Amino acid sequence: MDWGMKNRLSKIINPKDGHTVMLAVDHGYFMGPTTGLENLSEMIKPLLPYADVLMPTRGGLRNYVSPEIDIPICLRVSGGTSILNKDNLLHEGIIVSMEDAIRLNVSAVAFSILVGQPFERDTILSFTKIIDEANRYGIPVLAVTAVGRGLGKDAKYLSLASRMAAELGASIVKTYYCKDFDKVVETCPVPIVIAGGKKIPEREALQMAYNALQDGAIGVDMGRNIFQSSNPVGMIKAANAIVHKNATPDEAFEIFKNNK
Ligand code: 5RP
């Protein structure tokens, strides 16, 4: 592996413990002004000290984030459909050139593939195009893996999508937590982080993060369960304690409550 790729990966995954807390704030690319991110700038300011990586869109980065910021960026580079287009949701293609990603000084790029839909081929071929371009410049690609509607969050399908992403060249995989998640991790040769998904009660979200880490995930790439929490700072501190300090769900929940 090239020095540049290794160096960027070491910014995304903390070399001290091999874990990472990624803060996902890319939702606007298909959800518009998502609850909690209406003023992205104000929301993320107090959260950044507890995140290892920020995952925005390029417009989010340019319009809401100071260039003096001291945090590695994993830039969302896939998109093309909105939340209103339910049948085509996640029928994504390339939305950012690698040239612009480099101009933005990113440490990684993120691309979504959807496995198990008639249009899966489109997302996968665009994904491999991004991998070839990113590899040319030593930029790691994080694959966001989702499966078609109706397949559910099931280890059988999430391991299929995650393994495919790794075999196609992803450096990191982001997928959903599910029952028997250890099987998803075991059969994926690259590190896995979990997505938070829709907002759920804080104690449950922390338990999910803990379970994922116990099953071998290297961290979280969470958005709504942090910025839509009643206490976003408490929530990211609690997630950070699970990921980097081995906190139990109860200990993490105490951190959440005590940071009101
Ligand atoms: C869509 C995404 C989201 O944009 C986002 O990153 C997910 O974060 P969360 O589910 O934790 O809110 O990945 O595929």
Q: Residue 17 belongs to a domain with what CATH number? A: 3.20.20.70
- As for how many domains the chain has, the answer is 1
Average pLDDT estimate for 121-128: 96
* 88 confidence band (pLDDT: 50, 70, 90): confident
On the question of pLDDT at 90 being above 90, the answer is: no
Q: What's the CA gap between 178 and 243, in Å, rounded?
A: 18
Is 149 a residue whose pLDDT tops 80?
no
Q: What is the CA(221)–ligand 1 centre distance, in A? A: 8
C-alpha 140/C-alpha 237 separation (Å) is: 26
Mean of the per-residue pLDDT values for the chain? Answer: 96
Across 76-105, average pLDDT: 94
Residue 204 has pLDDT above 90, yes or no: yes
What's the domain range around 13?
A: 3-258
Confidence tier at 151 by pLDDT (50, 70, 90)? confident
Atom of ligand 1 nearest to the CA of 222: 11
CA dihedral 146→41→235→197, nearest 10 degrees, is -10
Residue 223 Cβ < 6 Å to ligand 1:
yes
Say whether 174 is catalytic. yes
Banded model confidence at residue 13, pLDDT cuts 50, 70, 90: very high
Query: For residue 102, is pLDDT > 90?
Result: yes
